[in-house]
Amino acid sequence: MTASITHLVRSRVPAALQASPVIAVLRASHADAYAPVVEALLSGGVRHVEVTLSTPGTLAAVPALTRRFGADAAVGVGTITTVAEARAAAQGSAFLVTPTTQPEVIAAGLEAGLPVFPGGFTPTELHAGWAAGATAVKVFPASHLGPGYVADLRGPFPDIQVVPSGGVTIDGALDWLRAGACAVSLGGPLLQDVFRGGSLDALTARARELVTRIADAGLSERGSA
């Protein structure tokens, strides 16, 4: 597989993600619930949203979400585990996210010219994703590690770009960014109960708090390696 993907070009970390390095991960009972939540996140300054294939109706919903919010938000698709899913998700999405490291799935995203964020946990998995052309590797589940893991990875892999995901909190997000992560991915700690009737205004407030704290700490608008 390596020989067949060497001609593909890595998509670098988008400038918009450098400027606002937060990806909100949305898991709902159905994709019909996405739109008001995306709108609330945008009102709080979160500009990157990952909708997940574990939510029924996601693939069908992506084109409409992109048409509605694409001028202000990057809508990507996550929980991709097969080449077929990657190719289908590439139609209308801004980026692809996987929970695992599969070079053929990464290659499908590269073929579409999209940023790809494959998941891994061990140095071997994360380097394999990076070597296969990942835009950045998704450290998952990050809650079992810590921000110091970024420095540990940068020892043998000095150019690797990292996005922690899984259990990253609003407080912890700043620690990961200070450690050198190019962005942070937040699900439950940011979304909380919004898909179970929770307040959209409260979500906007949490998003605004996170974005403001990152900007005040000087952790946005940094160049990628």
SS3 211: helix
Cα–Cα distances (Å) from 152 to 122, 142, 143, 147, in that order, read 11, 14, 16, 9
Residues whose CB falls within 8 Å of the CB of residue 84, separated by 6 or more in sequence, listed in order: none
Task: Check if the beta carbon of residue 221 is closer than 8 Å to that of residue 47.
Answer: no
Find, among 210, 207, 151, 202, the residue nearest to 181 by Cα.
151
Query: 106: helix, coil or strand?
Result: helix
Sequence-distant (6+) residues with CB within 8 A of 60 are: 31
Query: Is residue 186 within a helix (H) or strand (E), and if so which, with residue range?
Result: strand 184-186
Query: What is the average pLDDT score of the chain?
Result: 93
Rounded to an integer, the average pLDDT of 2-23 is 80
Query: What is the percent of the chain with per-residue pLDDT over 70, rounded to a whole number?
Result: 95
Give the pLDDT band (50/70/90) at residue 220: confident
Retrieve residue 83's tokens: 């080449």
Confidence grade of residue 225 (pLDDT, cut at 50, 70, 90) = very low
Question: In the structure, what pLDDT confidence band is assigned to residue 8 with cuts at 50, 70 and 90?
Answer: confident
The whole-number average pLDDT for the span 80-99 is: 96
Per-residue confidence (pLDDT) for residue 221, from 0 to 100: 67
Rounded Cα gap, residues 106 and 96, in angstroms? 9
Instruction: Tell me which amino acid residue 2 is.
Output: T
Task: State the average pLDDT over residues 179-201.
Answer: 97
Residues 141-170 have a mean pLDDT of 94
Would the pLDDT of 30 be above 90? yes
Q: Which regions of 2-66 does DSSP assign to beta strands (E)?
A: 22-26, 48-52
Arithmetic mean of pLDDT, 151-161: 94
- Asked if pLDDT for residue 97 goes beyond 50, the answer is yes
Provide the pLDDT for residue 9: 83
pLDDT value at residue 7: 62
Share of the chain above pLDDT 90, in %: 90
Report the predicted TM-score, pTM, of the whole model to 2 decimal places: 0.93
pLDDT of residue 4 exceeding 60, the answer is no
What number is the average pLDDT over the span 36-50?
Answer: 98
Rounded mean pLDDT of 100-114? 95
Average pLDDT over residues 121-126: 96
Q: Say if residues 138 and 165 touch (Cβ distance below 8 Å).
A: yes
Predicted confidence (pLDDT) at residue 93 exceeds the cutoff of 60 = yes
